[in-house]
A and B are shown apart, each in its own frame.
Chain A
């Protein structure tokens, strides 16, 4: 049966204030059941307070073939990282 069911990606918010993070995927016959399945499979051990599910086919993903064009130019631009500043003592969370 599951080969006929579409795939959904599951995102879980671990606690209020954090963002949803990708947890994995489930098969399900429709959106509501996908939410149930995600709850049953990925939140058994108190992992979350909120779930998003989205049909995997609705995700627009970058093409691995284009990795060099997409991401490598940024590697040469170290000045985009704020690594040239001295951080004053006592400043946290940077």
Chain B
């Protein structure tokens, strides 16, 4: 694999992560438990959607075959998406949504911080902008995690269950492949081993503050980097892609 091919695939993966989480959060729009949380969620969904668009636009430039952001989002099949399994998991209850975001954002921030210093200037610029948005998401979501964990007996039980259920999807974030290696070595991209240490340290501190138990070592579900997904992914992109699949090229 050439370094250019690896960079293109890496940028597409970044776009996939942002797009799939955006789609999940968009599904919650108009279902927020509070007006204020509704606004926060919609803001966050738009942040992720905006990031997906920037990553896909860059991917289109890198590929140079005339594909645009919409082609990547709406004209690819399930196996071509390399987003983390964690992100396609259903919204569930409020605690499930918060736990999913917290687990991802603690990975995504150090990833973006490293990319902001990489040698591909367009990617570095997108990462520098995106990390500001995600730092706020992380603040908001982590504060909720603390309050749910340290809240009532019921909220504590529910958020602990959310963490236990989602934990098996966290391992693959750190399991790099050839593409991760090339982006690290050739472009000064993130070191996944370092990110894992940062993640474990920060998540442990947060769970401790939230009076929650860190789930133990266990079997980890993998698949993202090879395009394998859980059963939730098909319905998600079916809904997301419906319009462009039925009416290809349709515009507002």
Contact = CB atoms under 8 A, between A and B. Distances in A.
Q: Do A and B bind each other?
A: yes
Interface of A: 1-2, 5, 26-30, 32-33, 36-37, 39-41, 44
A44 B35 contact: no
B143 interface: yes
Interface of B: 33-37, 39-40, 43, 136, 139-140, 143, 147
Contacts of A5: 34
A37 B32 CA distance: 13
Nearest to A37: B36
A76 to B, nearest CB: 44
B36 A32 contact: no
B34 A1 contact: yes
A41 B34 CA distance: 12
A40 B36 contact: yes
B36 A26 contact: yes
A36 B139 contact: yes
Contacts of B147: 29-30, 33
A27 B36 contact: yes
Contact of B33 (A1, A32, A33, A36): A1
A36 B146 CA distance: 14
Contacts of A41: 35-36, 39
A37 B40 contact: yes
Contacts of B136: 39
Nearest to B34: A2
12 contacts: A5-B34, A27-B35, A30-B147, A33-B147, A36-B40, A36-B143, A39-B136, A40-B36, A41-B35, A41-B36, A41-B39, A44-B39
A37 to B, nearest CB: 4
B139 A40 contact: no
Given A36-B40, A40-B43, A2 B35 contact: yes
A26 B37 CA distance: 11
